[in-house]
Structure formats: structure tokens, C-alpha cells
Amino acid sequence: MLRLNCPICGPRDETEFSYGGDASVKRPKMDETDPQIWIDYVFYRDNPRGPHLEYWHHVQGCRQWLVVERDTVSHEIASCRLAREVAR
Amino acid sequence: MTGRRLETGGRIDRSRPLSMTFDGRRVEGFAGDMLASALLASGETIVARSFKYHRPRGVYSAGVEEPNALVHLRDDGRQEPNARATMVEAFDGLIATGQNAWPNVRWDLQGANRFLAPFIGAGFYYKTFIGPIRGTGFWMFCERFIRRAAGMGRAVTLDDPDRYEQANLHCDVLVIGGGPAGLSAALAAGRAGADVLLVEQDAELGGSLLSEPVGSATDAWLNTIAPDIDAQHNVRVMRRSTVFGAYDHGTYGLVERLWDHDVRPPEDQPRQRFATVRAKQAVLASGAIEQPLVFGGNDKPGVMLAGAVRTYLNRYSVLPGSRIVVATNNDSAYAPALDLANAGADVVLADARTGLPESLLENTRNGGVEVRLGHSVVQAKGRGRVQSAQIAAVDGAGLMAGPATSVPCDVIAVSGGWQPALHLWSQRQQKPVFDSEKHCFVPIADAAPPMICAGGVMAASGLEEAVGQGFSAGVHAADQTGATRDAGSILTAPSVSVGDDWTREIAPVRFIVDANGKPKGKAFVDLQHDVTTADLDLAYREGYEAAEHAKRYTTAGMATDQGKTSGVNTLAQLAALRDVAIGEIGTTTFRPPYTPVNIGALAGAETGPHFQPTRLTAVDQWHRDNGAVMTEAGAWMRPWYYPQMGEDLRAAYIREAGHVRQHVGIIDVSTLGKIAVQGPDAAEFLNRVYINGWKTLAVGRLRYGVMLRDDGIVFDDGATARLGEYDYFMSTTTANAAGVLSVAEKLLQTEWTDLEAHVTSITDQWAAFAVAGPKSRDLLAAVVEGTDLSREALPNNYFAHGSVEGATVRVHRMSYSGELAYEVYVPALRGLDVWQALIAAGEEFDLRPYGTEAMGALRIEKGHVAGPELDGRTCLGDLQLGGLPSKKKPFVGSVLRQCPALVDEQRPTLVGLEIDGETGATPGSLLFAEQGPMEGHGEGWVSSTTYSPALGKNVALGLLKNGPNRMGETVRVANFFGDRVLTATVTSHHFFDPDGERQNG
């Protein structure tokens, strides 16, 4: 079981969170009309071995979306930040 | 083997005799006994039958590694199969029975399986798939016999009357194992000031030291350290507890056996408690497990691990036999040999090694033990039990180097070295290394932080090193957690006379075979799964060379003991077959649990209706009191129908739905998801997530909206009301409430951070009731005060504020049923009051409650889509909603909903189906054209079905290829599960009042 250090709630069990996908992809602007750009955003993901930026949602806690840097091999968590505060 | 209890000695309480039964026979014991020691003391030689061949088996070990002595415990709902007799504490009234045998383990007629042995060797299961008869038919034929004869115990289907609990534990330093290393680690970490949790699977602390004779120096050491640990108030000690799993980020699974050592738990206490432990640091001091020697007949009752024989003697005062042959390849068997001789047994010690120190030999011979160097046991002989050992000279590889002589005996105590119990360390994705001097796999002490290994699990050379490693690990772990006190000086280890260091000059002799390398008779590598050396030979010949392949093909190491006494020998044999060093074979990976865990403990109280939380509306009890049959809707319970006078579901919903169309009905819709969308940019947010426009919606109005996913598939629908300038009240379907909120939060927090809008779930804060039917306006006008509900004042899709019995309510005029209808929203705490006020006032309007089944019938008649149509595969066009999306603005899914696959006109599209006949269709039925073969997945499917009281016929909604162009066509409706084919006429999905005159009236 992973333990995530929620910036609002402190270290909490993985079971309080739900995984929210790759946080390195950038959602196209609302007025983007090129289907290929949306297809890339919706369907295509890298599957890296090692560090991975990902969204986690503190569903059973403060309900904040977090950007977590997790190593997909060791599960080591390098950082855990509020999504709204992550500079994009 | 004729075990007996000695007159004195042992760590048992002779003042507390116990009486138990095994297979109906009385078994005597004392407090402090294990079931296994009591069985041995009572002369129970055969306690089990083996997995495949039904060979008689006796107690083999004295610990968690026990492969043979699996028994069935207790009776009635408390029955438990596959309990290791070596781990079952004896208590007065204990009932145990043998398993996998008929009529019993002593006289087992299924022992005839041994004649089948040539046919049920390695890979038998797989081979039945490919021949001699192709296909699975042969396996299915064989399976009937094999399943009945092979196997372990049987689970019962009775309810377990006992309670189990779940708990959470936190600590700085988790110490796993209460032997010399673990005690030292706990003491050191405790002195340093860390919050320490010491976990021991035994009822007593001491580990291997409990097998030393009573009164020896180790007892003095234990008696010194125990009060020292007690004095540390920051050290918690848990006995009868097993850390069975090591997981990510310092979490561990632990099970505490609170009352397994008694007939039943006290009324208010759980039998077992499962705890999730969160520890900053852990010290793994799980010790080592003695390994067998493999020779012909090595599974006969009477063959036991040497250390176990010593445990039974010194801890339980049980002498398992009177004439004992000890066979070893290391020093650790010398202490058992000496203790056994001292207790009065005739002891012959065969050591495969030569050139041992004279001091060790002299000491042993002086103790009355006959020592034969360069010798080992090549075969155990005897009918049903060991009666003699064939002892022969062996070379350094375990091959016979001379003729065998027969030594009469009743116990053969073996030691093939020791293997560190590194399971929990391995569970952390670690691969151990093979130590070619100590001939075992060892962990790398600090390779898996925050876990440090110490003591026997590191193959420590003797007690002094074990204690030293434990103490250092405790200091280090405490330091890592920020503990600052001085742990004091290192402990002095107790001294023991012989066999202290099994690692010294151990010889890699594991298999004792004849000069040609063949065992003398059946030689078992895995006792629990009946895997012989011949099975492994066969697997190798057939190409299963890799450890992971051979393991699965032969099932070696895959029994409930996870190969605790077979894993290393399996690898050793594979290495020999491949002619490589054992370290090059690689190990298999250990996975949780370390020892079997009762499912009940893991489930805790989460059983039956408590398996998951149940959500109840404010009116739940009223529904039940008024005869509602409830149904599950996600986590919610909702009224399904309210039967009158023995009505079944069909009769009830037809009556309820018809009543709504003629009079007025009320349904609890509190389960709808409700989300407050607030802020200056709330309208912009709605404009983005819904396909239709929101900028023009005036305060006081509401609008139906549909949401898509980014990929253009329909996500959810519902009505949203504009309560104020910046205040919207969104409703979602019951099923998608949580999902819509999560998506909304994600968009606002990760992508649209510039929008000043906020979403809050208010599902639980508001109760909601739909009042539908021609008399609904009159009813509400009679109940709701302070507002004008007339047709002119409150047209469809408007809302008004009022009050009922002093409770503020909001009345939305909107219709799901197609009738004149309203939804009454009220703060949940006043929900029941308002519901009851409506019911009371409804008497003169013939108001009746209706359930979800009637609600479904009404919406199908209207052609509204719901969950069965919004199935995650349908787009707007499929649902005939193609005219709804705004063309003036982008919204979630607006680009990809146009992708070619979603605008294909051949896609199955929503249609109505009038079903011929009396029975109605089944949802999920496939649609086929009137003519042609019925093959594949057809041209569409039936999504929702009902009997329509308004139309007087069975109707359905379905999705049919090119549906809108097939009105009037006859199609076949096939339910392949029921093997039934109906016919239906394709119609519009708006079965009833297509122009909406009733709801707008």
C-alpha cells in the first residue's frame, strides 16, 4: 500500500485516493479543433519505467487533485503537490 | 515411533492437564503444549495423509514450516481446515480430526492412489489436455476421480459464529520476531526512545531459545532481558501475532490470534484481529528454518527435523522415540543428539562430513551418542512408520560409497542445513544471494529500506552474532526515526555448549542416493505436495529447466507451506540436473502471506450487509414500514415496488405506473447526485461541461443537460437549476454522482484553474421527491405554502420556493414520467416531515408511492434514456440526441464526437420495440433481421424493457443498426441464455404522448 503525503491532510493511505492518470499530458485548449491533438491527449500515453508524473485525487479526504511524482519501479514518491499549485 | 511424555522437564504446566480429541480418540496434554506435541506424547504416529498418494504422514517439524501435520479443527461453524498441528496451541476441549482420508488417516482406503502413482506424476494435469485423447474430455473424466481423492482439507459452508476485527497500528520501529535477535533489537530501539512494536508469532518470547533445556544459560538471559523490555514503556509486545506481509511505504499486514487457544472467544471479543501496521522502520528477525535431507522413504512418520525433535524434548518434554538416528550435514544436529541421549534415547548420529574437530566428537561420544562420520541415511524403512534406517558411507556429493547397514530406530532426525526465513524481505521485490559457504540464500541486510535484517535471517554465525546484529539493527532503526536517547551498551549473548553455529563447515549434502545417483525408493522433495526427486527429473527431461517453470510444472513449493522445507532442495536438484551452481538458478519470489491467514480475519466486520457502506435516504424507514421491497442502486437502497395483497413485482409496477398516469404518485429520488456549482464563472463552467448552452438560463429556471466524455461518448445527464446569479444546482444520475463530481473537480483544479467556480457535493444535504400525475399540481398546491404553483406562475422547467410544515422547500417543475410532475427538494433533516405531509395531504387525491420499477416503466413509455442506454458505448446520435448540442461553443467531447466512427449512420441507434406476445423481452437480448441466419452479435440489442400499462403491451428500448430508417420493420429478439426468440415491430422510442402535452399541461 502506498502512502501519499497530501499537502492538506498529511500522510494518508493509498486507499483514500483514486488514481487519475498521467499528469504530464496537457489538455488542449477548449477552442482547439484539431481532432489529432485531442486523440493524442485522450488516448496516447507513455508507459515509463521509472519516474512518472501522475494525478491522484484525495477522494476520501480533502478532495484535492494532487500531482505525484512516483517511480513506477520502486513506488518511491519524489513529490506530492496540489495540482492547482503546480506551475503549468 | 512411540513418543512419550517424560516425567519431568519442559516448559509445560503440569498442574493444568488438558483433554482433547483427535479423530475421536482422547489425547492428553498440558497447558503450554501444542497440538503436535500432545499428539506425539499420546503416540499418535499417523496424523495425516499426503496430498496425492495418501501416504501416511506424521509430525515433521515444530513450527510454521510444517508440511505434513495438517488437521481439521473444531466443529460446526467454527471448523477450520488445514491447520498446522505444530502451530495450534493445545486447550481443554480441543477437537481435531484427520483430513484427506477415508475412513480415517490410520486406515485410509484412498491409499490405493499409490498404485496410480506412475500416472499422476509431474505435469499430469497438463498432459491430460493433449493426450492420449485430444481435447479436455480426458481431463474432465480424470478430474472427477482426482478431485475427490487428492487435496487438502475441506472448507465448510456454515456461517462462522465468531467475530473478527480490523485495526490500524502505528510505530516507529516494527520488530518482526521475538527470538534473540528480535529481542535485542526491540530493547535497543526502546532504550533509544523509539516507539517500538515487537511481534512474535508464538505465545512466548524467546524464539529458538525456547528449545534449549530448561534452566540453561539462555533461560537466564531471557529472564534478564524480559523485565528490561517490560520496563520500556515505549515497547509494545504482541504475542500470537504474525506479520504476514510487507508492503510498500512501510506498511505491513499483521494478524493477531486472540482466542485461537481456547474453545471459543468470550462473548464480546473477536477470535482474530487483522491489523495494518504503518512503521517508519522495521527490523526483520524472523530466524531460519531447518531444511530436510532427501532420501528414500523420507516422508515416513518418524522422519523429523532434528531441531524439531529437540524442541519437542526440551520445550514440551516429549521424547518422540526411543531409538533415534540423527542424520546431518552440519553442527546443529549435535545438540539434539546429546539432549536425546541425555533423556535416555539410543542415539546414532550419522554426519555426512569428515574431519570434524576432535573436541566436538569427544564431547558427543562422551554424551552417549554413537557418531558415524562420512555416513548418512540412504533410506527409511518400515510399514506405515519408520522402523529402521539404512545407513551407508557417502561421498561429498551424497552418493553411497559403501554397503548400507540397517539400524533399527523409530525416529530419524534430519538436518540438511538451515534456510533464513527471508520471505518478508523477498516480498519487498528483493532477490537473495546464495552464500556458497553457508549453503543457503541470504538477504542483503539493508537492501530494502526501511527494513533491516538481523540474526538468523542473515544466517548469523551463532547466538553472539545474532544478538549483536539485532542490537545494532535496533539502534540504527531508532536513529532513523529521530530517536535520540543512548541505547546503552550492547547485550552479552548467552552461551550454549554445542551446535551454536550451524554455518560452520556445513557440507552441501542434501540428497542421499545410491552410487548411480538414484534414491533408494520414493524420495520426496516437497512433502506437502507429494513431489519426488523423480518428478523433478521428469520435468527437467521434458524441458522445464527454469526454476519458475519446474516449480509450476511439478507444483514443488506451491503448497500452503510455500516451500518452507522444499524450496531450497528443489533449486538444488535443478542446479544439479543443469550442472550449474545453485546460486545461478535463481530463487522464486515469495509473496504474502508468509503463513496462511484466515479469510475471516481479513474480512473483519465487513461481511453480509456490512461488506460495503449502505446509503439510506431520509425516508428509508418509511418505505420499509409501508411494505416497500427495496433494491440496491449503487450503494443506495431504493424502494423497488410497494406490493399490495401478495402482488408480485410485475403486478405491482403495472398498477403503480398506471396509477401515476391516472391520478398522482410519489417517488423518493433523494439518491440523485446533487452538486452545487458556484462562483462568477459557474455559467462558463456549465457551458464547457454540458453540450447545450447555459449563458442564457435565467435565475428561477432549470434546464436539462447532457455531458460527454472527452472521447465523445455520452457520460451523464440531468437537470440544473439557476438558484442565483452565481449559484447553480446541478443534478446527476444516481449512478454517476461520484464520477461527475470527480471529473468536475479535476477540470477545475488541474486545467481550468483560471475559472472562478467551485463544485460541492450536496447529495446528502437534500432529500428529493418526485410527485407525478394529473393531480400533482392540486396536491402540491394544497401542501406547499407561500408560493403560486399555478400553470401560469410555474410553467414547465421553472422552480419556486415555498414551505411545508415550516420546512423550506424548492419545487422544480419538471417531468421524467411524461406526466405533469414536480420535484420537491427539502433539506434532508426535514425530508421525512415533508414526505409525510405530502402523503397525508395526498389522501384526498389518491396519492400512492411508486418504486423504481414503475419509474422505469414510465420513462420507457416516454422514450427517455437512462443507465442501460448511457452504457459508456453510446454517443449522442445513437441516443437520438443529435439535435441537442450547441453549435456555437466548444464543450467537453465536442471535437471527438465528430470522429468518423461516431458519426457512422450504420451505428445502432435508439428505437422503440413493440414486442409480440405476452412475455416481454429480456434486456440484453440481441436483435436480428426477420430473415437470415442468427449468427454473431446481431444488428443491435435490447437495452430496457417493460410492460406498458398506457399502451397495454410489452415494449422495449433498443439500439438497432440504421434504426430510424427501419420503422415498422419486424425484427427478431433473441435471448440466447433462455434460448427464446421473439418478434417485435420497430417503432419510435416515444411510445407515449410524443408531443409532451401532458407534462406541459
DSSP-assigned beta bridge partners for residue B325:
B348, B412
Answer yes or no: do A65 and B688 touch at CB < 8 A: no
Chain A partners of B249 at a C-beta cutoff of 8 Å? 1-3, 75, 77
Q: Which residue of chain A is at minimal alpha-carbon distance from B689?
A: A30
Kindly state the helix (H) or strand (E) to which residue B241 belongs, with its residue range. strand B241-246
From the CA of A27, how many Å to the nearest CA of chain B?
7
The Cα–Cα gap between B343 and B337 comes to 10
- Can you read off the three cell numbers belonging to residue B165? 476485527
**Dihedral Cα B923, B703, B769, B827, nearest 10 deg:** 130
From the CA of B683, how many Å to the nearest CA of chain A?
15
Give residue B525's pLDDT: 97
Place of cell 450504420: B906
Place of cell 536513529: B479
Task: Confirm or reject contact between B247 and chain A (CB < 8 A).
Answer: yes
DSSP assignment of B825-866, as one string? Answer: EEEGGGHHHHHHHHHHHGGGGTEEE--HHHHHHHHHHHT---
Answer yes or no: do A3 and B895 touch at CB < 8 A: no
B476: helix, coil or strand?
Answer: helix
Q: Which residue of chain A is at minimal alpha-carbon distance from B899?
A: A35
Answer yes or no: do A33 and B749 touch at CB < 8 A: no
Q: Quote the strand ranges of A2-87, DSSP E.
A: 3-6, 10-13, 18-22, 51-57, 65-71, 77-82
Q: Quote the strand ranges of B621-736, DSSP E.
A: 629-633, 636-641, 664-668, 673-678, 702-708, 714-724, 727-732
User: Do B49 and B149 form a contact (C-beta atoms < 8 A)?
Assistant: no
Give residue B106's pLDDT: 81
Chain B partners of A81 at a C-beta cutoff of 8 Å? none
If you ran DSSP here, which 8-state letter would residue B492 be given?
P
Question: Strands of B664-668's sheet, edge to edge?
Answer: B799-804, B807-813, B821-827, B766-772, B664-668, B847-849
B643-680 burial by CB neighbour count: b if 16+ within 10 A, else e? beeebeeeebbbbbbbbbbebbbbbbbbbbbbbbbbbe
Nearest to B746 among A2, A38, A65 (CB): A65
From the CA of A63, how many Å to the nearest CA of chain B?
8
Answer yes or no: do A35 and B895 touch at CB < 8 A: yes
Give residue B1's pLDDT: 52
Task: Confirm or reject contact between B249 and chain A (CB < 8 A).
Answer: yes
- Can you read off the three cell numbers belonging to residue B690? 454540458
What's the whole-number mean pLDDT along residues A32-49?
Answer: 96
CB atoms within 10 A of CB B2: 15
Q: Quote the strand ranges of B295-404, DSSP E.
A: 303-305, 318-319, 323-328, 346-351, 369-373, 375-381, 388-393
Q: How large is the ipTM?
A: 0.98
Q: Which residue of chain B is at minimal alpha-carbon distance from A86?
A: B750
Answer yes or no: do B753 and A1 touch at CB < 8 A: no
Answer yes or no: do A65 and B247 touch at CB < 8 A: no
Task: Confirm or reject contact between B742 and chain A (CB < 8 A).
Answer: yes
From the CA of B167, how many Å to the nearest CA of chain A?
14
Answer yes or no: do A63 and B745 touch at CB < 8 A: yes
Nearest to B751 among A2, A27, A64 (CB): A27
The Cα–Cα gap between B341 and B345 comes to 5
Give residue B489's pLDDT: 85
User: Do B474 and B468 form a contact (C-beta atoms < 8 A)?
Assistant: no
Nearest by Cα to B85 from B153, B17, B151, B149? B153
Task: Confirm or reject contact between B250 and chain A (CB < 8 A).
Answer: yes
Omega of the bond leading into B508 within 30 degrees of 0 (cis): no
Ranges of residues in chain B with a pLDDT under 70 are: 1, 111-120, 124-151, 497, 499
Cα distances (angstroms) measured from residue B243 to each of B34, B63, B197, B239? 21, 15, 11, 11
Q: How many residues does chain B have?
A: 1001
B527: helix, coil or strand?
Answer: coil
Answer yes or no: do B895 and A32 touch at CB < 8 A: yes
- Can you read off the three cell numbers belonging to residue B612? 460495503
B860-875 burial by CB neighbour count: b if 16+ within 10 A, else e? bbbbbbbebbbeeebb
Cα distances (angstroms) measured from residue A58 to each of A15, B280, B614, B734, B756? 9, 22, 21, 21, 21
Give residue B586's pLDDT: 81
Chain B partners of A1 at a C-beta cutoff of 8 Å? 247-249, 251, 276
Chain A partners of B278 at a C-beta cutoff of 8 Å? 3
User: Do B856 and B944 form a contact (C-beta atoms < 8 A)?
Assistant: yes
Task: Confirm or reject contact between B170 and chain A (CB < 8 A).
Answer: no
Chain A partners of B896 at a C-beta cutoff of 8 Å? 35, 38-39, 42
Nearest by Cα to B635 from B653, B650, B620, B656? B620
Give residue B288's pLDDT: 97
Task: Confirm or reject contact between B898 and chain A (CB < 8 A).
Answer: yes
CA B978 to chain centre: 34
Nearest to A30 among B276, B749, B890 (CB): B890
Q: Which residue of chain A is at minimal alpha-carbon distance from B738?
A: A59
User: Do B466 and B180 form a contact (C-beta atoms < 8 A)?
Assistant: yes
The Cα–Cα gap between B50 and B87 comes to 19
Answer yes or no: do B750 and A84 touch at CB < 8 A: yes
Q: What is the pTM of this model?
A: 0.91
From the CA of A85, how many Å to the nearest CA of chain B?
9
Task: Confirm or reject contact between B548 and chain A (CB < 8 A).
Answer: no
Chain A partners of B899 at a C-beta cutoff of 8 Å? 35, 39
Task: Confirm or reject contact between B606 and chain A (CB < 8 A).
Answer: no
Give residue B588's pLDDT: 76
Cα distances (angstroms) measured from residue B49 to each of B146, B151, B464, B551, B677? 15, 10, 41, 22, 68
CB atoms within 10 A of CB B820: 22
Answer yes or no: do B250 and A3 touch at CB < 8 A: yes
Answer yes or no: do A23 and B278 touch at CB < 8 A: no
DSSP assignment of B705-738, as one string? Answer: EEEE-TTS-EEEEEEEEEEETTEEEEEE-TTTHH
Q: Which amino acid is at B290?
A: E
Task: Confirm or reject contact between B745 and chain A (CB < 8 A).
Answer: yes
User: Do B526 and B67 form a contact (C-beta atoms < 8 A)?
Assistant: yes
Chain A partners of B751 at a C-beta cutoff of 8 Å? 27
The Cα–Cα gap between B378 and B384 comes to 18
Chain B partners of A65 at a C-beta cutoff of 8 Å? 745-746, 749-750
CB atoms within 10 A of CB B408: 13
